[in-house]
Amino acid sequence: MNQHRLATLLMSALLPLGAPAYAQVQSANVTGGAVRGVVANGIASFKGIPFAAPPLGSNRWRSPQPVVPWTGVKSADTMAPACVQDIALAARLGAPKMVSEDCLYLNLWTPAKTSHDKLPVMVWIYGGAFVLGGTNWPLYDGTRLAEKGVVLVSVAYRVGAFGFLAHPELSKESGSGSGNYGLEDQIAGLRWVHDNIAKFGGDPRRVTIFGESAGGISVSMLAASPPARGLFQRAISESGGSLAPPRTTSGAQGVPTLELAEKAGEAFLASLGVSDIGAARALPAEKILAAAQKVRGGGFWPTLDGHVIVGDEYELYKAGRFNNTPVLIGTNSDEGALFVPPKVTPSAYETQVRNTYGEKADLILAVNPHATDEEAHRAAKNDFRDSVFAWSTWRWASLQSQHKGSGKVYLYYFDRRIPSAPDGASHATEIAFVFRNLKDSFTPPSDADEPLSELMSSYWVNFAKTGDPNGSGLPHWPPFSDAQPKVMHFDQTPSARDAVPNMQQLQALDEYYAWRRAQVAKGK
């Protein structure tokens, strides 16, 4: 045997022992063309893959259109800009200052060695009140979650006026309502995953959608949306649900009716100085963004269009009309801290409650002590937490668990307390724990955070693998039901406990929302 052949054999024998086991899925042919990713430490990342045509010109305010094919091999090594939004606000949350109307791209991280690995898939939907957010935020880097054996995908969607403008002309143009382009982007991303994920070692029959805040609300909406049926097999919602009654007047909470959203769209076009959609499509994106920033409260939200959102989600769940999958859902203990000013007086709190809850205000005031400034501040925070996040989450869990044969429900309560957050975990603080990206956390990490992050990410990944978060070495997490309301608490001593937190406040809100729903039925 010659020396060259002997050296080759020796190297072949030694490489498996001494070389790192890098991922082998480095390139793929996907819808539109070929892409090549980057491999580092056993994870292949693919960034900036287009999943729809750029929503520019005549495609502005249209359902996502098919990908424009490309020639050659696209180098998928750079994240695309976020969709057009307030750059200054996003930057304060750690986001890159890159936005564009050409933004319908996704990112992907895979530990697969071959395209035949059939790993579970997790598709991330970012939050941001439907007016900001992006896949390019460092907090959402999928590397460390993918290390646990999942293919991680993050999907961009249009926000603000670009993603959620309704208008009679747009409804007529589509034939199926308007105002849900951002949600349709998410569905288009899921279709791309269904068609292409196997080429990255993912299993298209084990897809979990997960999101936080507006992303969690999106998950809730997709869980009851006919166009999304079959595109995912599990759902995780962090601080998000959409079970409040439809909104028929401005200023109320909930999904607006198409009629209300179209009227708001007509007013928005008037503020732009144009009279029709064609003229609005010809305007630069910067002018639309500037006008949108002047709309009170953001002004843009998904719409009850009859196509993507087909009805009152509460009633849909009561009737069993939802996409039946296991769900893992929950909220944080001090969600309101991010949204409520640091000083609230008792009189200011009472005025706010009476303006918000009308003739049911005394119900809310009775369960939220507010005699002092300190109590009023806590009451305002807790009322925000419960009305915006916790009530919908609890009701979602309750309604789904009542249907025999429905996917199991796993309910959690994230209650990390540190000296700088003595009242509990603020909105969005769980994200860094789930992604294992504590260095990018909104609050400084502590010594106890690493074990908690490992615990939570393991539950999330186990759920993606099997539809059940439980696994070896983890505290047992029982499914939720009204009869056995088990809730997993993530705090200093993580464990499942026997009652839903803040139940007195949730029951008061339940009575309020029942009244609101009756008012809507009467046309009020």
Which residues are tagged catalytic? 213, 335, 427
CB 82 within 8 A of CB 99: yes
The structure tokens listed for 378 are 């806590």
The structure tokens listed for 253 are 């909470």
Q: Any idea what DSSP says for residue 385?
A: I
Angstrom distance (rounded) from CA 27 to CA 75: 9
CB 221 within 8 A of CB 314: no
Beta bridge partners of 110: 44
Angstrom distance (rounded) from CA 490 to CA 495: 7
Angstrom distance (rounded) from CA 127 to CA 212: 5
The structure tokens listed for 202 are 């993912």
Amino acid symbol at 221: M
Angstrom distance (rounded) from CA 436 to CA 6: 45
Amino acid symbol at 395: R
Angstrom distance (rounded) from CA 130 to CA 126: 9
Q: Any idea what DSSP says for residue 390?
A: I
Angstrom distance (rounded) from CA 460 to CA 435: 10
Helices (H), 205-275: 214-222, 258-272
Beta bridge partners of 29: 34
Angstrom distance (rounded) from CA 366 to CA 309: 34
Angstrom distance (rounded) from CA 469 to CA 372: 42
Q: How many CB atoms lie within 10 A of CB 199?
A: 16
Residues in the chain: 524
281 Cβ partners below 8 Å, 6+ apart?
57, 58, 60, 61
Angstrom distance (rounded) from CA 240 to CA 393: 7
441 Cβ partners below 8 Å, 6+ apart?
139, 429, 432, 433, 449
Angstrom distance (rounded) from CA 156 to CA 64: 12
CA angle, 410 as apex, 407 and 411 as ends, to 5°? Answer: 135
Cα end-to-end span (Å), the chain:
91
Helix, coil or strand: residue 29: strand
